[in-house]
Every structure is written in C-alpha cells, then in structure tokens.
Amino acid sequence: MLRKSVILEIGNRKPECNPAINGPISDFRFLITDFHLKPIKVALSFFQNHSLQPYNTFGIEANADFFCRVTAGGQLAEALRFARESGLSPFVLGGGSNILLLGDLPYLVMKMELKGIQVIQEDADQVRLRVGAGVVWHDLVAFAVSQGWGGLENLSLIPGSVGAAPIQNIGAYGVEIKDVFYALEAVRVEDGQTRIFSRDECRFGYRDSIFKQEEKNKWVISSVDFNLSKAGIVHIDYGDVRKVLAEMGAGQPGIADVSRAIIQIRRSKLPDPAETGNAGSFFKNPEIPATVFETLKSKFPAVPGYPQAGDMVKVPAGWLIETAGWKGYREGRVGVHDRQALVLVNLGGAGGGEVKALASKIQASVEERFGIRLQPEVNYIGGGLS
C-alpha cells in the first residue's frame, strides 16, 4: 500500500447526511455548505491494488492499481497531477451504479466525494443551486423536494452521484437532467485547467452527452448548477405515476407527492443493490422511425410506443426483453430480475464477464425476434474497455 501526503485545500464542510427516504424530510439546511475553499493541511492517500467491490452496485470484485478519495477541490488537482506524473489514466468513480467491471482497472481510480449544496441565485420564480459532484443524487432530490423546489422529483431514487448525472443525461418518468441543468464545472485531465460547460455545450441526447462522445475521459466534473422552479408544476403523465398518485389519494399532487409516488414505483420494481447486485436499467429504450414502429406494431399489436422528436418512437426495452421470454431467467450466478426485465442481477459471486455474456444473449434474442438491437445503458469498464 502506497500513501502520499501533500498540502491541499479543503472547504469548511458541515456534517453530511444520507437521509432516510422512507419518511418525511423536514430540514436539510445542514447540507448547504461553503464552496469557497480555504488552504489547510490535509493528507491525500493513495492505495495500491485496492478492491472496488464495495464501490459498484453490481458487487463485482475487481481491483484498482491505485485508488484515492477526493473530498476537496485541491485534492482533485493533486490526484490528477499524481496520475500524470505516474503515467496512469484517471478514472472517476461516483456511486458506481451505472458501471459493469469486466476486470481489474490499471488506472488511478478517484472516488468522487466533493460535497456541498449552495444557493447561488434566487428570485420569486426559481432558484439556482450549485452542487458538488460527490453529492448522492437522491440526497439532492430529497433536499430540493423538502424546500418546495420543483424539477427533480421525477428523478427520485435514481442511484449514483451528481457528477455522473450530466454525463449520462439521466432521466426517468418523462424528465431528464437536461430539463433542469444550467451549467457544470469540470477540470481537464491533461493539464488541470478548469472550464465551465453550458447546457448547449454539453450536447445532451438520450442517455448521452459530449462527455460520452468526443470529450470522453478528458474531463472530471467537480460541480453542477441546476435551475429549479418554485411554481409547483408537476409532470405525472408518464408510466404509472398518475395511477399511483390516485391510489395515494393525491387529487392535486404537489412535488412531494410525485416524489413519494415515484419512490413507491421504483421500490416495487427494482431490487435493492444492498441485497442483490444490479445497476438498475441495463439497456436503453430504443428509438426507431415511426414507419418501422408501425410495421412492428402490425406484427406485435401490444407493443407500446412513445412518440419522440424527429418522427421517432421510443419502445420500452423492458417490454421487448420480457416478451422475448427473459424475465426471471437465471443462468449460473447471473439472471434477469423477476419483476423488471430491464434489470440484470448478480445472484452472488458473479464476474462482470458473466453479466456481459447474459446481456449479449438478450441482445441477440431481441434482435432476432423484433429486429431491434438493444444498446447498454450501463458502461462496460475494464477488460480493455472504458
């Protein structure tokens, strides 16, 4: 094990909290922190051959050549400098909820733990928040809901960290992060320079952004700014949201009602990673031309479809997988969840290659039956892939 101590900067951070999401959330003021960092001495430790099993929700065993925790902006700069001087490629690890590890990682793995939620602008209609990349995504959602600020409630209970959210343009129940995104700050890997990316510069697409395309692996996101609304407008026309709200007796639902409904829906369908290793939705919902969808519907009348821009139609991947007969399937130490066919699970002790092999079989099966090639939403890491 190798350790290295340096002079760094760290902010005045108050005690952090991972709030319970079962009950009401009344006071999140302790989450608001000072983003103006002050220079004090703090040790940044690097660990060799460090296990990543506790840091990925699939629970896959794999080691990082080097590992460190980044808890302050100065530490991020020092970690990147260490990577450059050591000839290591840096890899940023947030919540580990959207990755599949296929082997040991010959990188410097930086566990992103930059915290803080700060109000940087506010008027009668909206509020702008600056949020550290290491904040747990649902902690941010719960905080915003507790303050009556709308825009994030449909994204309740999505696992992962704030810094990873723009990379993937996370979305659920008719809302994507691009709908509330204002800007982000990122540090360039090659020289440590800082840059602000606007919404347009991020080039958001469906589960996509510039950080998955030509800027992939070139930047480390340190904070994200969001514009949230005080108007109380809710979006409840996607999936079972309206139905669950009615069952809850929420005749005129507010943002807290919507958040609770979506938490209820997600818990009813998705396994807890603490009990069963998984990364949530494994595949993207494919978008196909409307003409292709009409042909598909003539063969499979029950197929759902959601119109998109550009005369495209989004088809639920979960329906395709379930209709192809994979729901509840088990093969050795991996399988498909019995309540949500879109979720692949580690039944215990599986390697990333076993999960990937099952995913490939599902892709081939769905393509053979429906003529649609599913694309993974989960990122394959290691084994020569990144």
CATH number for 34: 3.30.43.10
230 and 278 together in one domain: no
Same-domain pairing of 332 and 377 = yes
Domain termination residue (choose one: 206, 232, 266)? 266
Asked whether residue 93 is domain-assigned, the answer is yes
Q: Do residues 134 and 164 lie in contact, with contact meaning Cβ atoms separated by under 8 Å?
A: no
Q: Does 176 share its domain with 295?
A: no
**338 CB-near residues (< 8 Å, 6+ apart):** 327, 328
What's the pLDDT at 386? Answer: 58
Residue 78: the pLDDT is 94
Exposure string of 191-222, with b = 16+ CB inside 10 Å and e = fewer, is: eeeeeebebeebbbebbebbbbeebeeebbbb
Domain presence at residue 2: no
Q: Looking at this protein, which amino acid is placed at residue 199? A: R
DSSP SS3 for 56? coil
Contact 108, 83 (CB under 8 A): yes
Report the number of distinct structural domains present in the chain.
3
Secondary structure element (H or E) that encloses residue 269, with its range: helix 255-269
Sequence-ordered list of residues with C-beta below 8 angstroms from that of 20, at least 6 positions apart, any chain: none
Q: Tell me which residue range forms the domain holding 311.
A: 272-381
Q: Do 281 and 375 have their domain in common?
A: yes
Provide the CA 328 distance to its chain's centre, in angstroms: 25
Q: Which two tokens stand for residue 341?
A: 């066919």
Report which DSSP code applies to 34.
-
CATH code of residue 335 = 3.90.78.10
Same domain, 205 and 335: no
Three-state DSSP state, 316: coil
Active site members? 207, 281, 377
- pTM for the model stands at 0.85
Q: Is 280 found in the same domain as 258? A: no
Q: Is 133 exposed, middle or buried (0-12, 13-18, 19+ CB in 10 A)?
A: buried
pLDDT of amino acid 385:
64
In the listed set 208, 232, 266, which residue is the last one of a domain according to the structure? 266
DSSP-derived letter for residue 67 is E
In a domain, 356, yes or no: yes
Residue 4 lies inside a defined structural domain of this protein: no
Asked whether residue 87 is assigned to any structural domain, the reply reads yes
Indicate if the alpha-carbon torsion angle 164, 99, 151, 259 is positive or negative. Answer: negative
pLDDT reported for residue 238:
82
Q: Are residues 102 and 87 in the same domain?
A: yes
Domain co-membership, 248 together with 333: no
Residue where a domain terminates, one of 226, 247, 266 = 266
The DSSP bridge partners found for residue 206 are none
Structural domain contains residue 54: yes
pLDDT at 73: 80
**Residue 65 falls inside a structural domain:** yes
Verify that 259 and 277 share a domain, yes or no. Answer: no
SS3 41: strand
pLDDT of residue 74: 87
Note whether 132 and 251 are same-domain residues.
yes
Which CATH number covers residue 243?
A: 3.30.465.10
- Regarding whether 323 and 280 lie in a shared domain, the answer is yes
- Cross-strand partners of 129: 119, 226
Kindly write down the DSSP assignment for every residue of 148-197, as one continuous string. T-BSSGGGTT--SBTTTHHHHT-EETTEEGGGTEEEEEEEETTT--EEEE
Query: Tokens standing for 346?
Result: 């580690």
Residues 193 and 324 in one domain: no
CA–chain centroid gap for 38, Å, is: 30
**Residue among 320, 348, 317 at smallest CA distance from 335:** 348
pLDDT in tens, the chain (386 residues): 333 322 222 232 222 333 322 332 223 332 444 443 333 345 799 999 999 999 999 999 999 999 999 998 889 999 999 999 999 999 999 999 999 999 999 999 999 999 999 999 999 999 999 999 999 999 999 999 999 999 999 999 999 999 999 999 999 999 999 999 999 999 999 999 999 999 999 999 999 999 999 999 999 999 999 999 999 899 998 878 999 999 999 989 999 999 999 999 999 989 999 999 999 999 999 999 999 999 999 999 999 999 999 999 999 999 999 999 999 999 999 999 999 999 999 999 999 999 999 999 999 999 999 999 999 999 999 987 65
Q: Residue 196 and residue 266: Cα distance in Å, rounded? A: 33
Written as one letter, the residue type at 205 is G
Reported residue count of the chain is: 386
Number of H helices, E strands in the chain: 9, 22
The candidate with the shortest Cα–Cα distance to 11, out of 76, 66, 80, is 76
